[in-house]
Structure 1
Amino acid sequence: MNHSTVTTEPFVIVGMPRTGTHYLEELLNAHPNVSSNGELLNPYDTIWLDRNRLLRSDRQLLELAYLHYPAATGKKHVTHVGCKINQPQFQERPGFFEELARWPRLKVMLVIRTNTLESLRSLVQARQSGHWLRYGADNDSGPPPQVTLTIEDCEAYFKAASDFHRQVADSFSPANVLPVEYESLLGAPAVCLQAVWAFLGTSVHPCPHRTVLQRQEVRPLEQTVFNFDELKRHFRGGPYESFFEAGKD
Protein backbone atom coordinates (compact mmCIF):
# COMPACT_ATOMS: atom_id res chain seq x y z
CA MET A 1 0.00 0.00 0.00
CA ASN A 2 1.29 3.44 -0.90
CA HIS A 3 0.33 6.61 0.91
CA SER A 4 -0.88 9.29 -1.45
CA THR A 5 1.90 11.88 -1.76
CA VAL A 6 -0.16 14.28 -3.86
CA THR A 7 -3.75 15.40 -3.65
CA THR A 8 -5.95 13.01 -5.61
CA GLU A 9 -9.58 13.50 -6.50
CA PRO A 10 -11.79 10.75 -5.02
CA PHE A 11 -14.61 8.93 -6.80
CA VAL A 12 -16.75 5.87 -6.28
CA ILE A 13 -18.68 3.64 -8.69
CA VAL A 14 -21.96 2.40 -7.20
CA GLY A 15 -24.91 0.41 -8.50
CA MET A 16 -27.02 -2.67 -8.11
CA PRO A 17 -25.28 -5.98 -8.86
CA ARG A 18 -24.80 -6.92 -12.54
CA THR A 19 -25.21 -3.41 -13.89
CA GLY A 20 -21.82 -2.94 -15.56
CA THR A 21 -19.82 -1.46 -12.68
CA HIS A 22 -16.90 -3.80 -13.38
CA TYR A 23 -16.92 -2.91 -17.08
CA LEU A 24 -16.95 0.81 -16.29
CA GLU A 25 -14.03 0.32 -13.93
CA GLU A 26 -12.06 -1.49 -16.63
CA LEU A 27 -12.62 1.42 -19.02
CA LEU A 28 -11.60 3.97 -16.38
CA ASN A 29 -8.41 2.12 -15.58
CA ALA A 30 -7.27 2.48 -19.19
CA HIS A 31 -6.64 6.16 -18.35
CA PRO A 32 -3.01 6.73 -17.23
CA ASN A 33 -4.03 9.06 -14.40
CA VAL A 34 -7.09 7.22 -13.07
CA SER A 35 -6.95 4.30 -10.66
CA SER A 36 -10.10 2.45 -9.60
CA ASN A 37 -9.23 -0.29 -7.15
CA GLY A 38 -11.98 -2.88 -7.23
CA GLU A 39 -14.54 -3.67 -4.56
CA LEU A 40 -13.42 -2.17 -1.30
CA LEU A 41 -15.97 -4.16 0.74
CA ASN A 42 -15.48 -7.51 -1.00
CA PRO A 43 -13.23 -9.75 1.15
CA TYR A 44 -12.27 -11.78 -1.92
CA ASP A 45 -11.22 -8.90 -4.18
CA THR A 46 -7.66 -9.68 -5.28
CA ILE A 47 -6.65 -6.02 -5.48
CA TRP A 48 -6.93 -5.80 -1.70
CA LEU A 49 -4.67 -8.50 -0.27
CA ASP A 50 -5.49 -7.76 3.38
CA ARG A 51 -8.89 -9.31 4.14
CA ASN A 52 -8.57 -8.07 7.72
CA ARG A 53 -9.12 -4.55 6.40
CA LEU A 54 -12.85 -5.13 6.85
CA LEU A 55 -12.28 -5.20 10.62
CA ARG A 56 -11.34 -1.53 10.45
CA SER A 57 -13.77 1.28 11.11
CA ASP A 58 -15.70 2.81 8.22
CA ARG A 59 -13.52 5.91 8.31
CA GLN A 60 -10.33 3.83 8.29
CA LEU A 61 -11.57 1.86 5.30
CA LEU A 62 -12.21 5.04 3.35
CA GLU A 63 -8.78 6.35 4.28
CA LEU A 64 -7.40 3.10 2.90
CA ALA A 65 -9.34 3.62 -0.33
CA TYR A 66 -8.49 7.28 -0.90
CA LEU A 67 -5.26 7.96 0.99
CA HIS A 68 -3.42 4.62 1.22
CA TYR A 69 -4.60 2.96 -1.99
CA PRO A 70 -2.62 0.26 -3.83
CA ALA A 71 -0.03 1.44 -6.31
CA ALA A 72 -1.28 0.87 -9.86
CA THR A 73 1.18 -0.85 -12.16
CA GLY A 74 2.58 1.49 -14.79
CA LYS A 75 0.87 4.61 -13.43
CA LYS A 76 3.34 7.19 -12.18
CA HIS A 77 0.95 10.09 -11.64
CA VAL A 78 -2.51 9.20 -10.38
CA THR A 79 -4.80 12.21 -10.15
CA HIS A 80 -8.13 10.43 -9.59
CA VAL A 81 -8.56 7.44 -7.31
CA GLY A 82 -11.62 5.38 -6.54
CA CYS A 83 -13.27 2.05 -5.87
CA LYS A 84 -16.63 0.43 -6.49
CA ILE A 85 -19.34 -0.68 -4.09
CA ASN A 86 -22.54 -2.56 -4.93
CA GLN A 87 -25.80 -1.98 -3.09
CA PRO A 88 -25.84 -5.30 -1.14
CA GLN A 89 -22.42 -4.46 0.31
CA PHE A 90 -23.85 -1.30 1.83
CA GLN A 91 -26.67 -3.39 3.30
CA GLU A 92 -24.16 -5.77 4.87
CA ARG A 93 -22.28 -2.87 6.50
CA PRO A 94 -24.83 -0.47 8.05
CA GLY A 95 -23.60 3.09 8.39
CA PHE A 96 -20.94 2.82 5.70
CA PHE A 97 -23.01 4.64 3.08
CA GLU A 98 -23.47 7.60 5.42
CA GLU A 99 -19.71 7.71 6.11
CA LEU A 100 -19.01 7.57 2.38
CA ALA A 101 -21.38 10.49 1.78
CA ARG A 102 -19.31 12.61 4.16
CA TRP A 103 -16.03 12.11 2.28
CA PRO A 104 -14.84 15.48 0.92
CA ARG A 105 -15.11 16.24 -2.82
CA LEU A 106 -16.37 12.73 -3.60
CA LYS A 107 -17.66 12.18 -7.14
CA VAL A 108 -20.22 9.40 -7.55
CA MET A 109 -20.88 7.42 -10.71
CA LEU A 110 -24.22 5.62 -10.37
CA VAL A 111 -24.55 2.82 -12.93
CA ILE A 112 -28.18 2.07 -13.75
CA ARG A 113 -29.56 -0.82 -15.79
CA THR A 114 -32.84 0.35 -17.33
CA ASN A 115 -34.42 -3.07 -16.93
CA THR A 116 -33.88 -4.08 -13.32
CA LEU A 117 -35.22 -7.55 -14.13
CA GLU A 118 -32.14 -8.09 -16.30
CA SER A 119 -29.96 -7.24 -13.32
CA LEU A 120 -31.77 -9.74 -11.08
CA ARG A 121 -31.77 -12.47 -13.74
CA SER A 122 -28.02 -12.02 -14.24
CA LEU A 123 -27.36 -12.07 -10.48
CA VAL A 124 -29.25 -15.34 -10.03
CA GLN A 125 -27.46 -16.85 -13.03
CA ALA A 126 -24.08 -15.92 -11.56
CA ARG A 127 -24.97 -17.36 -8.17
CA GLN A 128 -26.10 -20.64 -9.70
CA SER A 129 -23.18 -21.03 -12.09
CA GLY A 130 -20.45 -19.51 -9.92
CA HIS A 131 -19.27 -17.55 -12.98
CA TRP A 132 -19.32 -13.86 -12.08
CA LEU A 133 -17.16 -12.54 -14.90
CA ARG A 134 -16.26 -13.76 -18.37
CA TYR A 135 -13.00 -12.83 -20.02
CA GLY A 136 -11.89 -13.20 -23.62
CA ALA A 137 -10.31 -16.58 -23.02
CA ASP A 138 -13.47 -17.99 -21.43
CA ASN A 139 -15.64 -18.13 -24.54
CA ASP A 140 -15.98 -21.92 -24.33
CA SER A 141 -17.74 -21.84 -20.95
CA GLY A 142 -21.17 -21.82 -22.61
CA PRO A 143 -24.22 -19.65 -21.90
CA PRO A 144 -25.40 -18.98 -18.33
CA PRO A 145 -28.13 -21.27 -16.96
CA GLN A 146 -31.83 -20.56 -17.34
CA VAL A 147 -33.40 -19.55 -14.04
CA THR A 148 -36.69 -19.37 -12.17
CA LEU A 149 -37.45 -16.16 -10.28
CA THR A 150 -40.04 -15.91 -7.52
CA ILE A 151 -42.53 -13.06 -7.42
CA GLU A 152 -41.36 -12.19 -3.92
CA ASP A 153 -37.71 -11.97 -4.95
CA CYS A 154 -38.59 -9.80 -7.93
CA GLU A 155 -40.67 -7.40 -5.83
CA ALA A 156 -37.96 -7.12 -3.17
CA TYR A 157 -35.20 -6.56 -5.73
CA PHE A 158 -37.14 -3.97 -7.73
CA LYS A 159 -37.88 -2.02 -4.55
CA ALA A 160 -34.26 -2.28 -3.36
CA ALA A 161 -33.04 -0.82 -6.67
CA SER A 162 -35.53 2.03 -6.58
CA ASP A 163 -34.71 2.82 -2.95
CA PHE A 164 -30.98 2.73 -3.59
CA HIS A 165 -31.14 5.09 -6.57
CA ARG A 166 -33.22 7.47 -4.47
CA GLN A 167 -30.77 7.23 -1.57
CA VAL A 168 -27.87 8.23 -3.82
CA ALA A 169 -29.83 11.16 -5.25
CA ASP A 170 -30.81 12.35 -1.78
CA SER A 171 -27.33 12.00 -0.24
CA PHE A 172 -25.13 13.82 -2.74
CA SER A 173 -25.23 17.12 -4.55
CA PRO A 174 -26.55 16.69 -8.11
CA ALA A 175 -23.27 18.19 -9.39
CA ASN A 176 -21.38 15.31 -7.74
CA VAL A 177 -23.45 12.47 -9.19
CA LEU A 178 -23.20 11.13 -12.74
CA PRO A 179 -25.82 8.55 -13.78
CA VAL A 180 -24.33 6.07 -16.23
CA GLU A 181 -26.77 3.94 -18.21
CA TYR A 182 -25.75 0.31 -18.62
CA GLU A 183 -27.21 0.17 -22.12
CA SER A 184 -25.30 3.26 -23.24
CA LEU A 185 -22.13 1.94 -21.65
CA LEU A 186 -22.37 -1.21 -23.77
CA GLY A 187 -23.61 0.44 -26.95
CA ALA A 188 -21.61 3.66 -26.96
CA PRO A 189 -18.74 3.38 -24.45
CA ALA A 190 -16.74 6.17 -26.07
CA VAL A 191 -19.61 8.62 -25.61
CA CYS A 192 -20.06 7.54 -21.99
CA LEU A 193 -16.38 7.99 -21.29
CA GLN A 194 -16.44 11.51 -22.70
CA ALA A 195 -19.09 12.34 -20.10
CA VAL A 196 -17.08 10.59 -17.38
CA TRP A 197 -13.86 12.49 -18.13
CA ALA A 198 -15.74 15.78 -18.06
CA PHE A 199 -17.45 14.80 -14.79
CA LEU A 200 -14.19 13.82 -13.11
CA GLY A 201 -12.34 16.82 -14.50
CA THR A 202 -9.50 14.78 -15.92
CA SER A 203 -7.91 14.81 -19.36
CA VAL A 204 -9.68 13.08 -22.22
CA HIS A 205 -8.39 9.60 -22.99
CA PRO A 206 -9.45 7.41 -25.93
CA CYS A 207 -11.86 4.58 -25.27
CA PRO A 208 -10.20 1.14 -25.56
CA HIS A 209 -11.23 -0.59 -28.78
CA ARG A 210 -11.44 -3.89 -26.96
CA THR A 211 -11.64 -4.99 -23.35
CA VAL A 212 -10.81 -8.32 -21.78
CA LEU A 213 -14.18 -8.49 -20.06
CA GLN A 214 -16.97 -10.07 -22.10
CA ARG A 215 -20.75 -9.96 -21.74
CA GLN A 216 -22.08 -13.29 -20.49
CA GLU A 217 -25.76 -13.25 -21.49
CA VAL A 218 -27.13 -12.04 -24.81
CA ARG A 219 -30.42 -13.97 -24.94
CA PRO A 220 -33.72 -12.19 -24.21
CA LEU A 221 -35.52 -12.60 -20.91
CA GLU A 222 -38.19 -14.85 -22.42
CA GLN A 223 -35.48 -17.43 -23.19
CA THR A 224 -33.62 -17.24 -19.89
CA VAL A 225 -36.36 -16.99 -17.24
CA PHE A 226 -38.43 -20.20 -17.10
CA ASN A 227 -41.50 -18.54 -15.53
CA PHE A 228 -41.31 -15.27 -17.47
CA ASP A 229 -44.97 -15.43 -18.54
CA GLU A 230 -46.14 -15.99 -14.97
CA LEU A 231 -44.14 -12.99 -13.78
CA LYS A 232 -45.37 -10.86 -16.65
CA ARG A 233 -48.99 -11.58 -15.73
CA HIS A 234 -48.38 -10.74 -12.08
CA PHE A 235 -46.69 -7.40 -12.73
CA ARG A 236 -49.04 -6.31 -15.53
CA GLY A 237 -50.54 -2.89 -14.81
CA GLY A 238 -48.09 -2.10 -12.02
CA PRO A 239 -45.03 0.15 -11.75
CA TYR A 240 -42.70 -2.62 -12.97
CA GLU A 241 -44.72 -3.66 -16.02
CA SER A 242 -42.16 -2.23 -18.45
CA PHE A 243 -39.53 -4.73 -17.26
CA PHE A 244 -41.54 -7.49 -18.94
CA GLU A 245 -42.21 -5.78 -22.28
CA ALA A 246 -40.60 -7.19 -25.40
CA GLY A 247 -37.43 -5.41 -26.37
CA LYS A 248 -36.83 -4.05 -22.86
CA ASP A 249 -33.91 -6.36 -22.05
Structure 2
Amino acid sequence: MTGFHNHKTSQEISSFDEDASFSICYGLWAECANNPVRLFAILSMQRSGSGWFETLLNNHTNVSSNGEIFSVKERRSNASSIIWTLDRVYNLDLLTSASKNECSAAVGFKWMLNQGLMQYHKEIADYFNDRGVSVLFLFRRNLLRRMVSVLANSYDRYAKLLNGTHKSHVHSHEEAEALSKYKPEINATSLVKDLKTMENMVLEAIEYFSSTRHMILYYEDLIMNRTKLMDVQRFLGLPEMDLSSRQVKIHRGSLSKHIKNWDDIDKTLRGTVYESFLSTDYSN
Protein backbone atom coordinates (compact mmCIF):
# COMPACT_ATOMS: atom_id res chain seq x y z
CA MET A 1 0.00 0.00 0.00
CA THR A 2 1.11 3.57 -0.49
CA GLY A 3 1.93 5.83 2.37
CA PHE A 4 -0.05 8.99 1.62
CA HIS A 5 -2.90 9.84 -0.71
CA ASN A 6 -3.91 13.46 -1.10
CA HIS A 7 -7.10 13.32 -3.17
CA LYS A 8 -9.13 15.88 -1.23
CA THR A 9 -9.92 19.48 -2.06
CA SER A 10 -8.97 22.19 0.42
CA GLN A 11 -12.65 22.47 1.37
CA GLU A 12 -12.88 18.73 2.11
CA ILE A 13 -9.68 18.87 4.15
CA SER A 14 -10.95 21.82 6.18
CA SER A 15 -14.28 20.09 6.80
CA PHE A 16 -12.72 16.85 7.99
CA ASP A 17 -10.21 18.64 10.19
CA GLU A 18 -13.00 20.60 11.87
CA ASP A 19 -15.49 17.76 12.26
CA ALA A 20 -13.05 15.06 13.30
CA SER A 21 -10.58 17.19 15.24
CA PHE A 22 -7.75 15.64 13.28
CA SER A 23 -4.73 17.27 11.69
CA ILE A 24 -4.26 16.18 8.09
CA CYS A 25 -0.86 14.76 7.40
CA TYR A 26 0.85 16.27 4.32
CA GLY A 27 3.81 13.98 3.87
CA LEU A 28 4.96 12.54 7.17
CA TRP A 29 4.26 9.06 5.85
CA ALA A 30 5.99 9.57 2.48
CA GLU A 31 9.29 8.22 3.80
CA CYS A 32 7.42 5.08 4.90
CA ALA A 33 5.73 4.47 1.55
CA ASN A 34 7.47 1.14 1.02
CA ASN A 35 7.12 0.01 4.63
CA PRO A 36 4.56 -2.81 4.97
CA VAL A 37 1.76 -1.73 7.31
CA ARG A 38 -0.71 -4.04 9.03
CA LEU A 39 -4.16 -2.47 9.24
CA PHE A 40 -6.27 -3.45 12.24
CA ALA A 41 -9.46 -2.66 14.14
CA ILE A 42 -10.25 -3.45 17.77
CA LEU A 43 -13.92 -4.47 17.94
CA SER A 44 -15.27 -4.23 21.46
CA MET A 45 -17.97 -2.97 23.82
CA GLN A 46 -17.78 -0.03 26.21
CA ARG A 47 -16.15 -0.86 29.56
CA SER A 48 -14.55 -4.05 28.28
CA GLY A 49 -10.92 -3.01 28.68
CA SER A 50 -10.44 -1.60 25.19
CA GLY A 51 -9.03 1.70 26.49
CA TRP A 52 -6.45 -0.12 28.59
CA PHE A 53 -5.67 -2.51 25.74
CA GLU A 54 -5.19 0.36 23.31
CA THR A 55 -2.71 2.09 25.64
CA LEU A 56 -0.74 -1.15 25.68
CA LEU A 57 -0.66 -1.27 21.88
CA ASN A 58 0.32 2.39 21.64
CA ASN A 59 3.18 1.69 24.04
CA HIS A 60 4.72 -0.21 21.12
CA THR A 61 7.09 1.93 19.08
CA ASN A 62 5.55 0.84 15.79
CA VAL A 63 1.82 0.94 16.54
CA SER A 64 -0.64 3.78 16.08
CA SER A 65 -4.11 3.01 17.42
CA ASN A 66 -6.28 6.08 17.08
CA GLY A 67 -9.04 5.76 19.65
CA GLU A 68 -12.80 5.63 19.06
CA ILE A 69 -12.94 7.12 15.58
CA PHE A 70 -16.66 6.40 15.31
CA SER A 71 -17.71 7.96 18.61
CA VAL A 72 -18.65 10.94 16.42
CA LYS A 73 -22.13 10.17 15.06
CA GLU A 74 -21.62 11.90 11.70
CA ARG A 75 -18.89 9.43 10.78
CA ARG A 76 -21.28 6.48 11.16
CA SER A 77 -24.48 8.03 9.81
CA ASN A 78 -24.51 5.65 6.82
CA ALA A 79 -22.34 3.09 5.06
CA SER A 80 -20.77 5.71 2.78
CA SER A 81 -19.63 7.93 5.65
CA ILE A 82 -18.19 4.89 7.41
CA ILE A 83 -16.20 3.82 4.34
CA TRP A 84 -15.01 7.40 3.79
CA THR A 85 -13.75 7.58 7.37
CA LEU A 86 -12.08 4.16 7.15
CA ASP A 87 -10.22 5.32 4.06
CA ARG A 88 -8.96 8.39 5.91
CA VAL A 89 -7.57 6.19 8.67
CA TYR A 90 -6.12 3.38 6.59
CA ASN A 91 -4.70 5.55 3.80
CA LEU A 92 -2.63 7.20 6.54
CA ASP A 93 -4.01 10.58 5.55
CA LEU A 94 -4.32 11.93 9.07
CA LEU A 95 -2.61 12.32 12.38
CA THR A 96 -4.05 11.84 15.85
CA SER A 97 -2.36 11.95 19.24
CA ALA A 98 -1.52 8.26 18.78
CA SER A 99 0.37 8.77 15.50
CA LYS A 100 4.07 8.00 15.60
CA ASN A 101 6.92 9.76 13.85
CA GLU A 102 8.48 6.38 13.13
CA CYS A 103 7.29 4.23 10.25
CA SER A 104 4.34 2.39 11.74
CA ALA A 105 4.11 -1.37 11.37
CA ALA A 106 0.45 -1.41 12.43
CA VAL A 107 -2.25 1.27 12.20
CA GLY A 108 -5.80 1.05 13.47
CA PHE A 109 -8.38 2.17 16.01
CA LYS A 110 -11.03 0.82 18.37
CA TRP A 111 -14.66 0.44 17.37
CA MET A 112 -17.56 -0.20 19.72
CA LEU A 113 -20.31 -2.57 18.58
CA ASN A 114 -22.99 0.10 19.08
CA GLN A 115 -21.25 2.61 16.81
CA GLY A 116 -22.72 1.50 13.48
CA LEU A 117 -20.64 -1.65 13.40
CA MET A 118 -23.54 -4.09 13.68
CA GLN A 119 -25.93 -2.08 11.53
CA TYR A 120 -23.55 -1.96 8.55
CA HIS A 121 -21.66 -5.17 9.26
CA LYS A 122 -21.83 -6.52 5.70
CA GLU A 123 -20.32 -3.42 4.10
CA ILE A 124 -17.68 -3.19 6.83
CA ALA A 125 -16.71 -6.87 6.61
CA ASP A 126 -16.38 -6.56 2.84
CA TYR A 127 -14.18 -3.49 3.30
CA PHE A 128 -12.01 -5.25 5.87
CA ASN A 129 -11.51 -8.21 3.55
CA ASP A 130 -10.78 -6.00 0.53
CA ARG A 131 -8.22 -3.92 2.44
CA GLY A 132 -6.76 -6.80 4.46
CA VAL A 133 -7.78 -5.32 7.82
CA SER A 134 -7.10 -7.63 10.76
CA VAL A 135 -9.75 -7.73 13.48
CA LEU A 136 -8.99 -7.92 17.19
CA PHE A 137 -12.13 -8.82 19.13
CA LEU A 138 -11.87 -7.78 22.77
CA PHE A 139 -14.60 -8.70 25.24
CA ARG A 140 -15.06 -9.47 28.93
CA ARG A 141 -15.84 -12.96 30.12
CA ASN A 142 -17.51 -11.64 33.27
CA LEU A 143 -20.37 -9.54 31.91
CA LEU A 144 -21.59 -8.71 35.42
CA ARG A 145 -18.33 -6.86 36.07
CA ARG A 146 -18.80 -5.03 32.80
CA MET A 147 -22.31 -4.04 33.90
CA VAL A 148 -20.96 -2.60 37.17
CA SER A 149 -18.36 -0.61 35.24
CA VAL A 150 -20.94 0.70 32.74
CA LEU A 151 -23.33 1.86 35.48
CA ALA A 152 -20.58 3.44 37.58
CA ASN A 153 -19.09 5.25 34.59
CA SER A 154 -22.53 6.52 33.56
CA TYR A 155 -23.12 7.84 37.09
CA ASP A 156 -19.78 9.65 37.15
CA ARG A 157 -20.55 11.48 33.90
CA TYR A 158 -22.96 13.56 35.97
CA ALA A 159 -21.59 13.24 39.51
CA LYS A 160 -17.97 13.99 38.49
CA LEU A 161 -16.56 12.47 41.64
CA LEU A 162 -12.94 13.47 40.99
CA ASN A 163 -12.88 17.16 41.87
CA GLY A 164 -15.70 17.96 39.48
CA THR A 165 -14.11 16.08 36.58
CA HIS A 166 -15.41 12.98 34.84
CA LYS A 167 -12.78 10.34 34.12
CA SER A 168 -13.47 7.07 32.34
CA HIS A 169 -9.94 5.86 33.07
CA VAL A 170 -7.57 6.71 35.91
CA HIS A 171 -3.83 6.51 36.52
CA SER A 172 -3.60 6.34 40.30
CA HIS A 173 -4.92 4.04 43.01
CA GLU A 174 -6.27 7.08 44.87
CA GLU A 175 -8.45 8.05 41.91
CA ALA A 176 -9.56 4.44 41.45
CA GLU A 177 -10.55 4.18 45.11
CA ALA A 178 -12.54 7.42 44.93
CA LEU A 179 -14.52 6.24 41.89
CA SER A 180 -15.12 2.76 43.30
CA LYS A 181 -16.92 4.18 46.34
CA TYR A 182 -20.06 4.54 44.26
CA LYS A 183 -22.03 1.28 44.31
CA PRO A 184 -24.60 0.93 41.53
CA GLU A 185 -27.90 -0.81 42.13
CA ILE A 186 -28.53 -3.43 39.45
CA ASN A 187 -32.01 -4.40 38.24
CA ALA A 188 -32.26 -7.97 39.52
CA THR A 189 -35.55 -8.62 37.70
CA SER A 190 -34.08 -8.15 34.22
CA LEU A 191 -30.50 -9.18 35.06
CA VAL A 192 -30.45 -12.63 33.44
CA LYS A 193 -32.14 -11.24 30.32
CA ASP A 194 -29.69 -8.32 30.19
CA LEU A 195 -26.67 -10.61 30.51
CA LYS A 196 -28.06 -12.85 27.77
CA THR A 197 -28.54 -9.82 25.50
CA MET A 198 -24.89 -8.80 25.96
CA GLU A 199 -23.76 -12.37 25.38
CA ASN A 200 -25.78 -12.64 22.17
CA MET A 201 -24.39 -9.36 20.86
CA VAL A 202 -20.85 -10.67 21.30
CA LEU A 203 -21.66 -13.92 19.50
CA GLU A 204 -23.43 -12.03 16.73
CA ALA A 205 -20.45 -9.73 16.19
CA ILE A 206 -18.05 -12.66 15.96
CA GLU A 207 -20.34 -14.32 13.43
CA TYR A 208 -20.70 -11.15 11.33
CA PHE A 209 -16.93 -10.77 11.01
CA SER A 210 -15.96 -14.45 10.94
CA SER A 211 -14.81 -14.10 7.31
CA THR A 212 -12.10 -11.61 8.30
CA ARG A 213 -8.63 -12.38 9.56
CA HIS A 214 -9.35 -12.14 13.26
CA MET A 215 -8.27 -12.93 16.80
CA ILE A 216 -10.61 -13.25 19.80
CA LEU A 217 -9.33 -11.83 23.09
CA TYR A 218 -10.80 -11.55 26.56
CA TYR A 219 -9.83 -8.87 29.05
CA GLU A 220 -9.48 -11.34 31.91
CA ASP A 221 -7.08 -13.51 29.89
CA LEU A 222 -4.88 -10.52 29.09
CA ILE A 223 -4.79 -9.61 32.79
CA MET A 224 -3.93 -13.10 33.99
CA ASN A 225 -1.58 -14.14 31.19
CA ARG A 226 0.57 -11.38 29.76
CA THR A 227 2.01 -13.75 27.14
CA LYS A 228 -1.29 -13.09 25.35
CA LEU A 229 0.15 -9.70 24.42
CA MET A 230 2.98 -11.48 22.62
CA ASP A 231 0.35 -13.43 20.67
CA VAL A 232 -1.25 -10.12 19.68
CA GLN A 233 2.07 -8.70 18.51
CA ARG A 234 2.77 -11.80 16.43
CA PHE A 235 -0.75 -11.60 14.98
CA LEU A 236 -0.04 -8.02 13.87
CA GLY A 237 3.41 -8.91 12.55
CA LEU A 238 5.18 -6.67 15.06
CA PRO A 239 8.62 -6.97 16.61
CA GLU A 240 7.88 -8.24 20.12
CA MET A 241 8.23 -5.79 23.01
CA ASP A 242 7.27 -5.65 26.68
CA LEU A 243 4.21 -3.40 26.77
CA SER A 244 2.89 -1.41 29.71
CA SER A 245 0.03 0.92 30.58
CA ARG A 246 -0.39 3.59 33.25
CA GLN A 247 -4.09 2.87 33.65
CA VAL A 248 -5.25 1.55 37.03
CA LYS A 249 -8.22 -0.79 37.46
CA ILE A 250 -11.14 0.86 39.26
CA HIS A 251 -13.26 -2.03 40.56
CA ARG A 252 -10.85 -4.44 42.22
CA GLY A 253 -11.61 -7.47 44.35
CA SER A 254 -14.94 -9.11 45.09
CA LEU A 255 -18.02 -7.75 43.33
CA SER A 256 -19.92 -7.97 46.61
CA LYS A 257 -18.31 -4.70 47.69
CA HIS A 258 -19.15 -2.92 44.43
CA ILE A 259 -22.90 -3.65 44.07
CA LYS A 260 -25.41 -1.93 46.36
CA ASN A 261 -28.04 -4.69 46.23
CA TRP A 262 -25.56 -7.56 46.28
CA ASP A 263 -27.81 -10.00 48.14
CA ASP A 264 -30.51 -9.67 45.46
CA ILE A 265 -27.99 -10.17 42.67
CA ASP A 266 -26.40 -13.15 44.39
CA LYS A 267 -29.81 -14.78 44.84
CA THR A 268 -30.82 -14.05 41.23
CA LEU A 269 -27.76 -15.64 39.62
CA ARG A 270 -27.42 -18.69 41.89
CA GLY A 271 -28.25 -21.82 39.91
CA THR A 272 -28.05 -20.05 36.53
CA VAL A 273 -25.44 -20.28 33.78
CA TYR A 274 -24.11 -16.95 35.06
CA GLU A 275 -23.45 -18.07 38.64
CA SER A 276 -19.68 -18.04 38.07
CA PHE A 277 -19.84 -14.26 37.55
CA LEU A 278 -20.50 -13.89 41.28
CA SER A 279 -17.13 -15.25 42.38
CA THR A 280 -14.76 -14.85 39.45
CA ASP A 281 -11.97 -12.46 40.40
CA TYR A 282 -8.59 -11.42 39.09
CA SER A 283 -6.00 -8.77 39.82
CA ASN A 284 -4.55 -6.01 37.69
TM norm structure 1:
0.82
Deviation string for 1:187-213 (max 9, x for gaps)? 333x121000111122212223xx221
* 1:113–1:181 Cα contact (<8 Å) kept: yes
Question: What is the aligned partner in structure 1 of residue 265 from structure 2?
Answer: 231
Deviation string for 1:64-85 (max 9, x for gaps)? 2212342545432012111101
State the structure with bigger RCO (CA 8 A, min sep 6), 1 or 2: 1
Question: What is the aligned partner in structure 2 of residue 2 from structure 1?
Answer: 25
Distance in 1 separating the partners of 2:190 and 2:107:
35
Quick one: percent identity of the two aligned structures?
22
Question: What is the aligned partner in structure 1 of residue 101 from structure 2?
Answer: 75
The alignment partner of 2:186 has SS state of coil
Distance in 2 separating the partners of 1:83 and 1:162:
23
Deviation string for 1:155-206 (max 9, x for gaps)? 45423332232123323347722122212322333x1210001111222122
Distance in 2 separating the partners of 1:137 and 1:150:
29
Distance in 2 separating the partners of 1:157 and 1:9:
36
* 1:14–1:110 Cα contact (<8 Å) kept: yes
TM norm structure 2:
0.73
* 1:242–1:248 Cα contact (<8 Å) kept: no
Alignment length, in residue pairs?
Answer: 236
2:247 maps to amino acid: L
- Consecutive unaligned residues of structure 1, counting only runs of 5 or more, are 44-50
* 1:120–1:154 Cα contact (<8 Å) kept: no
Distance in 1 separating the partners of 2:276 and 2:176:
33
1:128 maps to amino acid: Y
Distance in 1 separating the partners of 2:176 and 2:45:
27
1:150 and 2:187 are equivalent in the alignment: yes
Shift of 1:110: 1.4
Shift of 1:149: 0.7
1:216 and 2:250 are equivalent in the alignment: yes
* 1:16–1:161 Cα contact (<8 Å) kept: no
Bigger shift: residues 144-153 or 26-35:
144-153
Distance 1:2-1:180 versus aligned 2 partners, 3 A rule: same
* 1:32–1:75 Cα contact (<8 Å) kept: no
- Consecutive unaligned residues of structure 2, counting only runs of 5 or more, are 1-23, 158-166
1:15 and 2:41 are equivalent in the alignment: no
1:39 maps to amino acid: E
Distance 1:98-1:76 versus aligned 2 partners, 3 A rule: same
Distance in 2 separating the partners of 1:57 and 1:174:
23
What is the aligned counterpart of 1:203 among 239, 250, 255?
239
Shift >4 Å, 4+ stretches: 51-56, 71-74
Shift of 1:243: 1.7
Distance in 2 separating the partners of 1:16 and 1:74:
26
1:243 and 2:277 are equivalent in the alignment: yes
Larger Rg: 2
Distance 1:57-1:198 versus aligned 2 partners, 3 A rule: same
What is the aligned counterpart of 2:90 among 61, 66, 81?
66
